[in-house]
Amino acid sequence: MAANSARHKTSTDIHDFLTGLARGLAGALLFALPMLMTMEMWSLGFYMERVRLLLLLIINIPLLVFLSHRIGFEHTNCWSSTIRDALVAFGMGIAASAALLLVLGVITTDMPPRQWVGMVAIQAVPASIGALLARSQLGMGADHEDEDEEKDADETDHSSEGSSYVVELSMMAVGALFLSLNLAPTEEMILLAYKMTPWHTLALIAISIGMMHGFVYALSFRGGHRLESGVPGWHAFIRFTLPGYLVALAISLFTLWTFERLDDTGVTQIVLIVIVLGLPAAIGAAAARLIL
Partner 1 sequence: MTSLESKKVARKGKPPNTERLKPHWIEWLTGAVSSLLILAIIGWVSYEAVNGTDTPAELRVDIASIEKTGAGWRVLFDLSNSGEATAAAVEVRGTVTDRGRFVEEAAVIFDYVAARSIAHGALIFTQDPAGRDLNIRAVGFNEP
- If binding is defined by CB under 8 A, does position 246 make contact with partner 1? yes
> At closest approach, how far in Å is the CB of 154 from partner 1?
8
- If binding is defined by CB under 8 A, does position 290 make contact with partner 1? no
- If binding is defined by CB under 8 A, does position 198 make contact with partner 1? yes
Say how many residues touch partner 1, by CB under 8 A: 52
Contact 126, 114 (CB under 8 A): no
Cβ within 8 Å of residue 188, ≥6 positions away: none
- If binding is defined by CB under 8 A, does position 49 make contact with partner 1? no
- If binding is defined by CB under 8 A, does position 235 make contact with partner 1? yes
Cβ within 8 Å of residue 225, ≥6 positions away: 216, 217, 236, 289
- If binding is defined by CB under 8 A, does position 11 make contact with partner 1? no
- If binding is defined by CB under 8 A, does position 257 make contact with partner 1? no
Interface with partner 1 (CB under 8 A), residue from 9, 150, 210, 219: 150
- If binding is defined by CB under 8 A, does position 105 make contact with partner 1? no
> At closest approach, how far in Å is the CB of 186 from partner 1?
13
Contact 168, 286 (CB under 8 A): no
Interface with partner 1 (CB under 8 A), residue from 33, 117, 265, 291: 265
Give the nearer residue to partner 1 in terms of CB position, either 16 or 152. 152
Interface with partner 1 (CB under 8 A), residue from 18, 194, 218, 219: 194
Contact footprint for partner 1 (CB under 8 A): 146, 149-150, 152-157, 159, 161-162, 164-165, 168-169, 187, 190-191, 194-195, 197-199, 201-202, 205, 209, 225-228, 230-231, 235-236, 238-240, 242-243, 245-246, 249, 264-266, 268-269, 271-272, 275
